Amino acid sequence: PDESSVNNNDSPDRSGLSQRSNDGDDGNGRHHSLSSSDVEGNQFSWIIKELANINSKSQMKELLERIRSTDFDLSSFKDMADLDIPIIILMICKDRWIGVGQFYCPMCELTFNNSAALAHHRKACHEDKDTPHEQAAIEYITNMILRWKIEHSVNADLGPKYRCIFPCPVSSCSYMVNRANSLSSHIGSSHIDLVNIRSEVGTFWAMHILHARRTSRLLYIKDVFHDMSGSLCRSCNDFIGKDLLTVRQHSNRSHPHANLEGHNYIAANVFIRTRWMSRGIDDSEIEEANSDLTHEKSNHITQKDIQEVEKSQPIEPRSDDSVDLEARERRRLNEESLRRNRSSGVLRTNERTPDSRLHRDRDDSSSDESEVTGNTDHITSLDLDN
């Protein structure tokens, strides 16, 4: 059961940039940008059409050359906040561009042939080496710092307030997590179209292309980087996923005791707020956030070491609130009911070979432990259904 829920409307808006309005929100935390006629105007409509038809690196480069050589009327964007301007138009206004390619630098226009060369470049030429690529690109374009602040109503220490969050770069998807490898796995299984196009142009421009194809609109910062809700694993206070199901999946993989009969999945609902900050104005908060990110990275390493040790050790019996001590008795009562029904000739409609679902009757009362471990898969599925 969740330990708490956070009212997303109770937290005041303290963002340095204007936040998204309710207009165009799909109800799932994803804001869909306004139509081209509302903001961009007809002078940018050709960009949307060409973006939607791009399939190669050369096509993307040619389009950017055309955009950069075109004289646009930008007067209507002069007094607008960065979050209210499509990213491509924002790049025109600020003359800050991102390179085209799978291994692009998010803080200049350079691209590289492999990830090792890119990592060496970021380490040698740029101060910020750890910010996720697409986030770093947005920070470079806006010349601001984005940090994710965790808010909750749990009366307990849940670890660092600022975390590194990886939202799915597909604007129509609500998936988010604080693990880069989990996001990569999600993209590989759920967004094959993104995988295919990013190998040509890189994830940053792939976001724009897929958004243009799906909505016939230009992509805004707030279409991907916006406030969202999530769930924090209370077993480690480290993992954050988009919901309780994601935390359950994490627990089954990372916490051995979660696979035992009667385990209660304990998670805290959290609200993840985008904090846009400016150097020279928000230096104290930037310093606090960066300190928390360093702490979070240390926690990742510590938790990984703990998990490796736990996987190699016998699981100790637990009697705290993470265990439902009556689960074993309920399971045995259910099995006895199945046996009685079977002996009297009563079958469930979905029960073809009921005996295979039951523990074998044994005279040896010491078989309790083997009964529990032998039925682990069945136990886990029952617990998930509850």
pLDDT digits (tens, 9 = 90+) for 285-320: 999 999 999 999 998 888 888 888 877 777 776 666
Looking at residue 369, what is its pLDDT?
A: 42
The more confidently predicted of residues 120 and 64 is 64
Looking at residue 379, what is its pLDDT?
A: 34
Looking at residue 115, what is its pLDDT?
A: 85
Angle between helices 192-201 and 203-215 (to 10 degrees): 130
For the chain, percent of residues with pLDDT exceeding 70: 74
Looking at residue 188, what is its pLDDT?
A: 94
Asked whether the predicted pLDDT for residue 132 surpasses 70, the reply is yes
Question: Can you say whether the dihedral through the CA atoms of 342, 347, 353, 358 is positive or negative?
Answer: negative
Looking at residue 372, what is its pLDDT?
A: 39
Q: Are 342 and 355 in contact (CB under 8 A)?
A: yes
- 94-129 burial code (b ≥16 CB/10 A, e <16): eebbbbbbbbbbbbbeebbeeeeebeebbeeeeeee
Q: Which residue has 């399939």 as its token pair?
A: 55
pTM: 0.73
Mean pLDDT of 29-44: 54
Average pLDDT, the chain: 79
Asked whether the predicted pLDDT for residue 8 surpasses 80, the reply is no
Mean pLDDT of 114-122: 87
Structure-token pair, residue 282: 């928000």
What confidence tier does 240 reach under pLDDT thresholds 50, 70, 90? very high
What confidence tier does 321 reach under pLDDT thresholds 50, 70, 90? low
List Cα–Cα distances, 241 to 102, 174, 176, 195, 373, in angstroms.
Answer: 26, 11, 6, 22, 29
The more confidently predicted of residues 310 and 180 is 180
Query: Which region among 26-40, 68-82, 324-338 has the lowest average model confidence (pLDDT)?
Result: 26-40
Q: Where are the beta strands (DSSP E) in the chain?
A: 103-104, 111-112, 145-151, 162-163, 166-167, 176-177, 228-233, 240-241, 267-277
